[in-house]
């Protein structure tokens, strides 16, 4: 396969390249693209150095699969050009809710890949880890309602956000206060703080990220009427997103039944005792980690943690590509 990676020098792009290598994805050729400021940078893939190319309109000729790890604006501009030449797997939010574009989590709704028209959307990081847990439960007992609170790491906003966070931690470590001019990426300081806002708010008071979780979960699971509420919080953690989830089913489901279902899913690691997963445990892991399973008044409480850059982005994208070449 002749593969392209757009946004190759970003956090997600770097991990897509790493996952392609770790999975020994069949690449006879790989081309790496980024913005002009990264032009000429060299990246090692399978013991060879590749020079990063500036993204241009004719960059996609001869490619079979192109991964986009860019912001929505770049995707909207270049994906239409790329899909004329290759199959595109887009990690941005630009096309996720387009009715003509499959939104895919392999193992959850792999069957919709066959309807692609040279474009497949990679879901939001928080959505991926959520539906990987909800889907097998819903296959056994229909889900009635979901409440989710996400605690999302700084890396979800990119490299500059990580640098801002590191600097703010240094300021706090010196016993100083964070100044207004030290806050650029987030609406408020993230060092020593939590921010219950990811994106802008709509008229109902839901943030962009909350609406992503709600709408994408409904689309992926094929339940447009699913009752689901989300609250998304940015927390002072480098990598790994956590979710506190409460699930109500159409019949009473025991804690033991839920644990039995989840323990049989290959990509889920279930904590059965008093231990529980934390973001520090999941860095560079491809599994979804689940713990603190509780039963309360017929509902089930869950704690779900995953690496947002790998499981929540790069690994899912590469698994989509693996599904494509199987078909």
Pinpoint the residues of the chain covered by CATH 3.30.360.10: 127-308
User: Residue 281 and residue 279: Cα distance in Å, rounded?
Assistant: 5
Please provide the CATH number assigned to the domain covering 127-308.
3.30.360.10
SS3 127: helix
Q: Which architecture characterizes domain 2-123+313-326 according to CATH?
A: 3-Layer(aba) Sandwich (3.40)
Is 76's pLDDT higher than 90? yes
Checking DSSP bridges between strand 48-51 and strand 119-121, what pairing results, if any?
A: unpaired
Options 116, 149, 232, 241, the catalytic residue: 241
The pLDDT score that the predictor gives to residue 21 is 97
Pinpoint the residues of the chain covered by CATH 3.40.50.720: 2-123+313-326
User: Residue 67 and residue 47: Cα distance in Å, rounded?
Assistant: 21
SS3 10: coil
Give pTM, 2 decimals.
Answer: 0.95
What secondary structure does DSSP assign to 204-237, as a single string?
Answer: TS-BHHHHHHHHHHHHHHT-TT-EEEEEEEE-S-
232 among known catalytic residues: no
Span 193-235, pLDDT tens digits? 999 999 999 999 999 999 999 999 999 999 999 999 999 999 9
Helices 208-221 and 125-140, packing angle to 10 deg? 40
116 among known catalytic residues: no
318, 19 contact by CB (below 8 A): yes
Options 116, 125, 149, 232, the catalytic residue: 125
């Amino acid at each position: 396969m002749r593969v392209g990676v757009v946004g190759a020098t970003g956090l997600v792009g770097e991990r897509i390249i790493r996952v392609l290598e770790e999975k020994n994805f069949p690449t006879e050729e790989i081309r790496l693209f980024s913005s002009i400021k990264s032009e000429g940078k060299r990246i090692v893939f399978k013991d060879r150095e590749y020079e990063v190319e500036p993204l241009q309109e004719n960059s996609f000729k001869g490619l079979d699969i192109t991964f986009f790890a860019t912001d929505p604006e770049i995707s909207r501009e270049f994906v239409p050009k790329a899909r004329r030449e290759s199959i595109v797997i887009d990690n941005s939010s630009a096309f996720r809710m387009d009715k003509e574009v499959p939104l895919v989590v392999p193992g959850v709704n792999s069957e919709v890949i066959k309807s692609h028209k040279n474009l497949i959307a990679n879901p939001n990081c928080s959505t991926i880890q959520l539906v990987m847990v909800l889907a097998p439960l819903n296959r056994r007992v229909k889900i009635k309602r979901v409440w989710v609170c996400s605690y999302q790491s700084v890396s979800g906003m990119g490299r500059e956000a990580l640098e801002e966070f590191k600097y703010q931690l240094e300021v706090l470590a010196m016993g100083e206060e964070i100044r207004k001019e030290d806050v650029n990426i987030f609406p408020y300081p993230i060092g020593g703080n939590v921010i219950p806002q990811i994106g802008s708010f709509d008229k109902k008071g839901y943030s962009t990220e909350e609406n992503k979780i709600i709408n994408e979960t409904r689309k992926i699971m094929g339940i447009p009427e699913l009752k689901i509420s989300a609250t998304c919080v940015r927390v002072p953690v480098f990598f790994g997103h956590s979710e506190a989830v409460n699930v109500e089913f159409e019949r009473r489901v025991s804690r033991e039944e839920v644990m039995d279902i989840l323990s049989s899913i290959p990509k889920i690691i279930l904590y059965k005792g008093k231990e529980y997963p934390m973001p520090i445990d999941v860095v560079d892991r491809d599994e979804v980690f689940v713990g603190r399973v509780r039963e309360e008044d017929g509902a089930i409480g869950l704690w779900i943690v995953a690496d947002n850059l790998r499981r929540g982005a790069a690994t899912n994208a590469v698994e989509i590509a693996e599904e494509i070449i199987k078909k």
